[in-house]
Structure formats: C-alpha cells, structure tokens
C-alpha cells in the first residue's frame, strides 16, 4: 500500500479517544485575538481582572462622597443618610466592590453579621423565624447568615462552633425539638440567643407559648359546640407535650365535654393523620368525635382527607383543627383552623436580645449571662372552615403582623 503523501497528521489524545473536537480554536479574549486554548484564555482573563481590583477609594469617587462616609456605610449604616447610603450601594454594585471582612476583623473592626442555625426547613415556623430575624437585623445594620442542620444535632453544634470561630457579632439558634435537648456550649464566646425554646438556665431564650396553644385550640373546640373531642399526635417532642398539657388545662374545667387522647401520629406524616381520621370517622355515630384536635397541622390535613375518604364531611360531620400554625402543611379543599405561634415575632425578638447583649458588653465588658432571660410569644387562633368558622383571629397582640397567615 502506498503511504499517504503530505505532512504527517498528528492525532491528539482527545482524537484517539474518539473526541474529534480540535484542542485549539480561535476565540476572542479581552484585548487579545490569537488562537489559544480555552483554559489559557480563562487564565489570561483572570490575571487581567486582578489588575483592576476595585478599592473603597473607587467607590467613594464613584459615589461622590468622602472615604469616611463609605466606611460608615459599610460599618455603621445607621449613621448615613438614606439617600447617601443608596448612592454608595449603587456605586458598589456598579463597580463590583465587596468589603473584605477578614481585613476588617484583623484591623479590629466588628463583624456586622449574625448567624442563624435552624434545625430544618420542614416547618413554616423556621422560615418565619428567619424572615423576622433578617428584617430586624437589617433594621440595625447587620446581615444574617443562615445554616440548615437538616435535623442533625451534631451538625447543628458544628454550625454553632463555626459561627463562633468566624467571630459573628451574635448567633441565633433554633434547637432540636426532642425531649432532653441540652445546650451544646455552656459558655458561648459571643452573644447567643436560643429560639423556639424554653429553659430556666442562665442565658437568653425566646419561645412560643405551646401550652397556651393547647388551651386556645381546646377552648375553640368547646366554643364551636363540641361535646366529644379527640386529641391525637405522638408525644415525641417537648412542645407537643406542652400543647397536650394546655388541652388538659381546659379539659379539667369543661363540664359535660368528653376528651379522648390518642398517642399516635408522627407530627410530620400526613398519612398518620389520614389513618387516625379515617378510623375515627368509621366509628358508630354515638361514639364518633364531633371535633378532632391534631397536635400538628400536617396531621390535621391528613385527618381531613381521612374523614372525607370515609364518606363524611368536614366540618358538617366532624370539625378539625391543627395546633402549630405550619403554612407548609396547608393543602386540601377545606381551609384549616390552627393555632399559630408567630415565628416572625420570635425571630425579631431574638435579634433584639442580641442587640441588648452587644450593648451590654460594650458597657460592662464581655460578661457571660448569669441570669435567665426567657421571653414567651403568645399564639393566636386562625379560625377557618375546617372548624365551621370563617376567617377570624383571637388572642393576637395588636402589634403583631399576621398578614402572612390570612
């Protein structure tokens, strides 16, 4: 066979593997037009970008303000007029400038950020806490970094340690809801507030009044005309146990009303609620409850579906209410009555506690809390069609913003 004539045809590793795209191609780089590899182009572009690093002086010149004004805008925004702050922020965004937090810390500056550790994002109260904390933090010139522990107590402790190591100005923690949960760090090195939590230990705590939630839903059932009330949900978390205690408070004072307690149903499993609701609906009419209180909204939504599957109507045959105000659980064709802990307010109050600790530390030094500071945020009733009511609220503080629930 006669060998081919002409220059040798070199095969690259890509071509030998069957990838026939050429290793080089003509592409346009900034200020350069040459046939080079993509990787080389990216490297050159990165090196050129580094030569044009934006500084705080550039931001001051772009915004037409003094250097000290820009510094205040990043470190003490409350000291800068809103129109000036807006101009500086626009200049920073245009130039792509971001303050060097590490340099500020090394120079003795303060980290203007709070950390928030959430146990999970399965419940609406955690999202409401985050929204409330973020709004209050921004009001005081702080940012908020959020970590999701995904129901892992060890991971939650690691996030807490990490935030302390990065010298956050303060830390908010929503602990796990299990019985016997203990503070992972007895002496936190920065101001710390525990949210949606009750404790008698020294420190700062903001909690929903779960016992009041139980009292409120039980009283609503009685006011709705109930005479046979079934209460169900597995008593696996401390806050659920407190709701049960609140229901029992009303039970002891309610003459002529029968209460039955069923220790079944995981709080986050609608199928458990469906099973209980279906079984209760299949009881003879003389034994069937006329009102069902589910100890979580997920269980209540499942119970409504179970009652309907059994051929009965909600609320005509059986009225239903949840008790933990979880918007993530609200589904189905019957709007759900529930008792809502205002998570937004819990988040706001938590940040207020952080600010109080920061100001106290400035005045008296970094002293650890020696007293218990426990704030309880009152719940409110959202009466809807599942209990035979139209939209109504009770027991709500007039200053609370509950528009997100309605």
pLDDT tens digit sequence for 64-73: 999 888 888 8
Specify whether the CB–CB gap between 302 and 336 falls below 8 A.
no
CATH class of 210-340+381-405: alpha beta
Contact indicator for 114, 144 with CB cutoff of 8 Å: yes
Fold match, 113-209+343-370 / 210-340+381-405: yes
Q: Is the pTM of this model over 0.75?
A: no
% of the chain residues with pLDDT over 90:
44
Q: In this predicted structure, what is the pLDDT of residue 23?
A: 38
- Assign 15 a pLDDT band (cuts: 50, 70, 90): very low
Give the model confidence (pLDDT) of 67-122 as tens digits. 888 888 877 777 788 889 888 888 887 886 766 555 555 444 567 899 999 988 87
Whether 51 shows a pLDDT value over 50: the answer reads no
Facing residues of 204 across strands?
Answer: 193, 373
pLDDT single digits (tens) 291-335: 999 999 999 999 999 999 999 999 999 999 999 888 877 888 899
Name the phi and psi angles at 11, rounded to 5.
Answer: -110, 130
pLDDT band at 180 (very low <50, low <70, confident <90, very high): low
What does residue 15 show for φ and ψ, rounded to 5 degrees?
-70, -35
- What is the CATH topology of the domain spanning 113-209+343-370? Rossmann fold (3.40.50)
Tokens 């007293």 identify what position?
371
Q: Where are the domains of the chain?
A: 56-76+83-100, 113-209+343-370, 210-340+381-405
């Amino acid at each position: 066979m006669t060998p081919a004539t002409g220059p040798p045809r070199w095969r690259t590793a890509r071509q030998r593997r069957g990838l026939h795209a050429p290793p080089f191609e003509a592409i346009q780089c900034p200020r350069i037009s040459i046939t080079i590899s993509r990787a080389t182009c990216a490297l050159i572009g990165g090196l050129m970008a580094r030569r044009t690093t934006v500084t705080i002086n550039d931001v001051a010149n772009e915004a037409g303000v003094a250097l000290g004004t820009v510094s205040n805008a990043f470190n003490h925004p409350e000291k800068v007029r809103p129109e000036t702050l807006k101009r500086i922020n626009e200049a920073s965004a245009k130039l792509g400038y971001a303050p060097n937090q590490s340099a500020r810390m090394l120079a003795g500056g303060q980290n203007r950020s709070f950390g928030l550790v959430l146990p999970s994002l399965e419940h609406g109260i955690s999202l409401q806490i985050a929204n409330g904390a973020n709004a209050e933090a921004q009001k005081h010139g702080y940012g908020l970094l959020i970590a999701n522990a995904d129901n892992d107590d060890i991971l939650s402790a690691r996030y807490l340690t990490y935030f302390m190591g990065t010298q956050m100005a303060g830390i908010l923690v929503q602990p796990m809801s299990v019985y016997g949960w203990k503070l992972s760090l007895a002496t936190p090195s920065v101001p710390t507030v525990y949210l949606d939590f009750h404790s008698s230990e020294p420190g700062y705590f903001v909690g929903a009044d779960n016992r009041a939630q139980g009292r409120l839903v039980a009283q609503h059932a009685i006011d709705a005309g109930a005479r046979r009330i079934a209460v169900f949900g597995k008593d696996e978390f401390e806050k659920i146990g407190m709701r049960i205690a609140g229901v029992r408070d009303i039970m002891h004072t309610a003459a002529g009303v029968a209460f039955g307690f069923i220790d079944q149903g995981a709080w986050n499993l609608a199928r458990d609620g469906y099973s209980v609701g279906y079984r209760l609906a299949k009881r003879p009419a003389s034994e069937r409850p006329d009102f069902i209180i589910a100890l979580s909204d997920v269980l209540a939504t499942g119970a409504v579906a179970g009652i309907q599957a059994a051929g009965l109507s909600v609320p005509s045959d059986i009225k239903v209410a949840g008790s933990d105000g979880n918007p993530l659980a609200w589904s189905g064709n019957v709007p759900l009555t529930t008792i809502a802990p205002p998570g937004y307010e819990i988040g706001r109050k938590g940040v207020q506690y952080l600010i109080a600790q920061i100001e106290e530390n400035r005045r008296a030094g970094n002293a650890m809390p020696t007293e218990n500071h426990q704030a309880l945020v009152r719940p409110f009733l959202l009466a809807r069609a599942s209990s035979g009511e139209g939209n109504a609220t009770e027991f709500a503080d007039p200053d609370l913003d509950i528009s997100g629930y309605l």
